[in-house]
Structure 1
Amino acid sequence: MARIRTVKPDLFVNERVAACSVTAVVTYIGLFTQADDHGRHRDNPAIIAGLLWPLRAEHTPVHVEEDLQQLADAGLICRYTGCDGKRYLHITGWYEHQKIDRPSQSRLPVCVAHHSDRRCGPCKGACAEVDANPQGGLAETSSNRRRALDPGPAPLPGLPSNRTTAPPAPGNVQPVDREAASGQGKETVGQGLFDEVSSKTHRELDEASTSGSRILDPGSSSPTGRTAPGATTAADLLAEYVTSCVQRPPGDVLGHLGRLLKKLLAEGIDVEHVRAGLARYAEIQGHPSRLPSLVNDAMNARVPAVQAASRTGTAHRAWTNPADAAAAYAEEL
């Protein structure tokens, strides 16, 4: 929801503001009206373009991304990743230049680099941002005690240590010491039944596990999103597009094009039609969302009427007067 904000006269003589383009300054001032009472907003160029530039179709989300990058380089905004994993931004001088009467609580995550003492929306207090585990494991221990690996306790007397150990002879079974089996009251019974630990844990596999089905069927006709070995992929087409450009396009443009290319190929559209549409897009540029329509033009290009008639064998012939009118119209005269 847009709000009434304050723009001070000093903004127009600020050297950091003067280092940005005019459109970046307009975007910066527009963010005042769209940010919440703590100067935070979603870092999404498409959303910001729809809010601030709805009547300027020529100023696309790609241009808004350039505006935001200029503002970030000048230190006017800070772009960060919240504790929920999404991208946000906040206006760096917000609390110094905006005086909000009875500000409402922010629902967005706080920037821990600048405002770690402020309230975080999702955390309902100080941001409890969890550090990423480089091993891919959970930060907390598993609630399922049977999944924990406990190589310390010795095997219980009278019980086999693994499947290959022969069972004890009759009469040699000793009574189970439940106090020792329970690990002095700290572990549940059964933790020490196995004296050997698997040589490979879940996170120590030689090959990286991939999500989805492990069966690759290149001969399947249904569009599953997978490609046969040696087939042209969305990454290959995107690389061809980048090669044809004078300078490397912004990351958001390439990401949008990559998703569209992958979706088009998954629909079963011929790769040559996709390549033709991408080549046309490289000529005219614009927003990446134009790519599907350009591919459709390549798929369903209109054939001239003369060529279409020649294919069916009914080519049109222009009318000419007969050389001998009496012979041509003998029955009608």
Structure 2
Amino acid sequence: MARIRTVKPEAFFSESLAEVSVEAERTFFGLLTQADDHGRHRDNAAIIAGLLWPLRAEHTSVHVEDDLQQLADAGLICRYTGCDGRRYLHIVTWSEHQKIDKPSQSRLPSCPQHHPADRCGTCKGTCAKRTEASPTPARGLDETSPNTPQALDLPAQPAPGPPVPRRQASTAEQDALVGPVRPLDPTRKKPAGQGVFPEDSPKPPRNLGEGSTPGSRILDPGSSFPTGRTAPAATVSANDLIGEYVAACDERPPSDVIGHLGRIAKKLLGEGIAPEHVRAGLKRFAEIQGHPSRLPSLVNDAMNARSAGLARPGIRPTVPAHQGWTNPLDAAAAYAEEL
């Protein structure tokens, strides 16, 4: 349970705290509020990280473990193993800086190095199963071990000599040991596990003699005559079209513009409009800019573009092309009959 503690002004120019990082210093100040009335706390980096750094996800339990190691190296905290086998820590200068009015009894084991005679919360008194303070575990192994290996108490064996050539036993000696070899009786049944089966194995061979049948499901990329399944035609999605539009821009457009264009492009593709027309409309939109709601009209222009005049080619060829009105250079010759 967190408690209100005292932080002295001298703490900010303490030489011991100056040896550790700023994060480790904050962890130390946080331990002041989480430790019990005797300055003891569980030595668990995950628990301490959850209590002191709940809103700082970037400072994980791995960083807290490094903070605790820095504080231990600076002599600000002492990490030890209690009589229950768990890891604990206590603030070394707790009694010098914290004055607790009516302190409650600690429920945690006392430090065997600094407070061997204090009350142990696990033993409810003087610790009966005192364990020595656990030093910081070595981070690596020495290259050579200082202890010389000792020989086991085994009976001495003679040194191996040169190999002795083995003598091949004669036929008479083999007959004396295993008996003479008798010819096989064709009418006598063979016992299981003796001799070699003369007949063929009933199991068929694993490899097939005939060639494989056509219709392979694997498409050979190097073959010009595919015999397997072909991959489905690639489809262009609205995300692909918007990605091309963003890549063509000099600067990335705002997220609202990208989202609006993406929704309109997805709706147009859902209506069955070809991706080429939507791509052409996005290209035209990149040139003229404006509100994203203009994209459907630009796509319509790309779909129904007219080459010249009011009529579309091939629809009404008899309609003459529209010509803009211009003032004649010679008005008298142009309007001679009307004048």
Instruction: Please state which band the TM-score falls in when normalised by the shorter chain.
Output: 0.3 to 0.5
Q: Which has the higher relative contact order, 1 or 2, with Cα contacts under 8 A spaced 6 or more apart?
A: 1
TM-score (norm 2): 0.40
TM-score (norm 1): 0.41
Structure exhibiting the larger radius of gyration computed from Cα positions:
2
